[in-house]
């Protein structure tokens, strides 16, 4: 693969509309995109959506890895053609792990039928009473053990039927006081609280062989990083904690780099480079095509001038290729 192709393999991009326009195909080809993040704006029927993915794949000339937030409850992007499941909090109060695993199985079968290879779920965040509702009912509950058991069951159901699961938001977003979609929050929990409450569900997800983990746009200064420095840019959390201590060998991806939490850190290009330095394999840029071009150009420059090491890029793309081969997507 060329440098441009390696960089493009690490971008997961969103786009407007429900049609594979020539302009959209030209854009995806220009940034060598291989992964898409889809939303409600891209869907009005299963038939239209399958046609959209097929035409984009043909236009780009390479198989596309399609991702979607399909959590259940209030976070579902497809308005029809899929089974509606309750939110995770309701499931946590009413369902056993066996039922949650069956849910994952149904989701995987339906998503595969739509051409989707990744469910950006489950949220393995442990909700803390009084926290911002950005997580709220997206969490299985306030009990760490329950969250871990149900998350692991969901992951098994999804992945045993060919859809990658994504445990989010590392290292735990359940105690957040402000919505990172809008502003940069800080969680001041110490290592004891993280180790006893918020990290165990991630350990359970990793033990269940979760294909992906998504990081959070939140600062954790009591875990060793400077105040105001989000987990998205933290090699301490991405490389040392997740990779070395928790022994996660799958794909690490960012949350959407366009979110408000990162707006004070400069350009999209700089955010993409910093997230790469922290150890992310996939960078999500979910709406702005211009921002996607900027990220591609900044990464290209960073590899060419040696700020980012080429061998680490190659290893990241190799991880992605192994995951795609494992799930045949």
> Which strand ranges, in their side-by-side order, compose the sheet holding 251-253?
251-253, 212-215, 164-170, 118-119, 65-68, 35-38, 11-13, 283-285
* Nearest Cα residue to 205 out of 236, 251, 239, 237: 251
Q: Shortest CA distance to 251 belongs to which of 173, 329, 310, 174?
A: 329
Per-residue pLDDT, 329: 77
Instruction: Determine the pLDDT at residue 299.
Output: 98
The whole-number mean pLDDT for each consecutive block of 10 residues of the chain, a chain of 329 residues, reads 97 98 98 98 98 98 97 96 96 97 98 98 97 95 98 98 98 95 95 97 98 98 95 97 97 98 95 98 98 98 97 97 91
Active-site residue set: 181, 255
The pLDDT, as a whole number, for residue 219 is: 97
Kindly report the CATH number that applies to the domain delimited by 70-327.
3.20.20.300
Report the candidate in 85, 173, 91 with the shortest Cα–Cα distance to residue 133. 173
Q: Exposure pattern of 154-172 as b/e (b: 16+ CB <10 Å)?
A: bbbbbbebebbbbbbbbbb
Domain boundaries, the chain: 70-327
Q: Which pTM value belongs to this model?
A: 0.97
How confident is the model at residue 328, as a pLDDT?
81
């Amino acid at each position: 693969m060329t440098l441009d192709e390696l960089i493009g393999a690490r971008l997961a991009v969103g786009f407007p509309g429900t049609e594979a326009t020539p302009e959209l195909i030209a854009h995806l080809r220009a940034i060598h995109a291989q992964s898409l993040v889809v939303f409600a704006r891209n869907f009005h029927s299963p038939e239209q959506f399958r046609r959209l993915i097929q035409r984009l794949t043909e236009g780009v000339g390479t198989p596309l890895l399609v991702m979607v937030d399909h959590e259940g409850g209030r976070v579902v992007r497809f308005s029809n053609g899929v089974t509606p499941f309750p939110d995770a909090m309701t499931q946590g109060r009413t369902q056993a792990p066996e039922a949650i695993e069956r849910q994952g199985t149904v989701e995987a079968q339906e998503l595969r039928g739509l051409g989707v290879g990744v469910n950006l779920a489950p949220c393995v965040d442990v909700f803390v009473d009084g926290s911002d509702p950005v997580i709220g009912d997206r969490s299985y509950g306030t009990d760490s053990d329950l969250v871990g058991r149900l998350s692991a069951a969901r992951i098994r159901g999804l992945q045993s039927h060919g859809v990658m699961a994504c445990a989010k938001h590392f290292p735990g977003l359940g105690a957040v006081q402000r919505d990172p979609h809008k502003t940069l929050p800080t969680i001041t929990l110490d290592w004891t609280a993280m180790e006893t409450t918020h990290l165990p569900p991630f350990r359970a997800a990793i033990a269940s062989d979760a294909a992906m983990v998504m990081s959070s746009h939140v600062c954790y200064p009591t875990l060793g990083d400077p105040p105001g420095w989000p987990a998205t840019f933290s090699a301490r959390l991405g490389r040392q904690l997740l990779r070395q201590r928790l022994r996660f060998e799958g794909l690490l991806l960012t949350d959407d780099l366009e979110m408000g939490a990162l707006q004070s850190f400069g350009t999209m290009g700089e955010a993409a480079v910093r997230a790469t330095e922290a150890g992310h394999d996939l960078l999500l840029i979910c709406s702005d095509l211009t921002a996607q071009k900027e990220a591609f150009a900044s990464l290209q420059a960073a590899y060419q001038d040696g700020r980012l090491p080429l061998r680490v890029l190659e290893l990241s793309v190799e991880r992605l290729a192994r995951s795609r081969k494992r799930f045949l997507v």
